[in-house]
Amino acid sequence: MRINEHPDREALTLAVAHDIVTSLGMVLRAQDRATLSLPGGSTPVPVFKALSAAPLDWDRVTIIPGDERWVPSDHARSNARLIRRHLLEEGVAADLIDLYDPALDPDAGAAAASARVAGFLPLSVLLLGMGEDMHTASLFPGAQGLAAALAADAAPVLPIRSDTAEEPRVTLTLPVLKGATEAFLMITGPEKRAALERAAGLSPEQAPIAGLLRDLTVHYAD
């Protein structure tokens, strides 16, 4: 794990956007398409805005949310909506694979989403966020479905139900996240920095981010 500490959140945003664009550019010089996974939450929004201004062959990029809240795609808490609003509607011509399906429940929806994403794996570039409880994507400690989502033979997308999440979730599973060619974690604030240090001594069951630390490039600012 490499930790880059930045003097402020503007420097953090620029560094994360730079790493993502550089990594995608390298992939696109070697192959026809690239797959980018982006997190939900509030932290990454400035990065999405920076990416929307980046000169890249976005029409050769497929974006997959790292996880999804099981809400309609126009709901304020939808991660797909966040990506559409701050990237696609800003002119980024990437394809977006929506993990949500209004016709299905989270269990069937996760199976259908697994089939949709399978052809776009492994991820070329992965950006993750993290909670103070050391969850990442929707891999929440103590969640129903966590053990299955951490398993080496897990399907690409599985359902997660957690008392700490406002709604049922579906998430990219640990083997998919670990399989990313380049994986970045973006965190802010001393509480998350301390949580990341704690995770280094814990199991993925206790601290799901721990399952990814070895190959992560972390970008941090207070």
Residues in contact with ligand 6PG by CB under 6 A are 39-43, 66-67, 79, 129-131, 135-137
Instruction: State the minimum distance, in angstroms, from the CB of residue 26 to ligand 6PG.
Output: 25
The residue type found at 28 is L
Contact indicator for 183, 128 with CB cutoff of 8 Å: yes
Q: How far is the CB of 137 from ligand 6PG (least distance, A)?
A: 5
Phi, psi of 67 (to 5 degrees): -165, 175
Nearest distance from residue 19's CB to ligand 6PG, in Å? 17
Nearest CA-CA partner of 17 in 60, 65, 50: 50
Structure tokens at 157: 């997308």
All residues at 6 or more sequence positions from 70 whose CB lies less than 8 Å from its CB, including other chains = 100, 105, 106, 109, 167, 168, 169, 170
Return the number of the residue (67 or 182) whose C-beta is nearest ligand 6PG: 67
Q: How far is CA 218 from CA 42, 70, 95, 135, in A?
A: 17, 28, 26, 15
Shortest Å, Cβ 182 to ligand 6PG: 17
Which CB, 21 or 165, lies closer to ligand 6PG? 165
Please report how close the Cβ of residue 57 comes to ligand 6PG at its closest, in angstroms.
26
- Closest residue to ligand 6PG: CB criterion: 129
Q: In the complex with ligand 6PG, which residue's Cβ is closer, 30 or 76?
A: 76
Angle among Cα 56, 171, 175 to the nearest 5 degrees reads 80
Among 23, 4, 20, CA closest to 12: 4
Q: Which is nearer to ligand 6PG, 66 or 141 (CB)?
A: 66
Q: Which is nearer to ligand 6PG, 62 or 136 (CB)?
A: 136
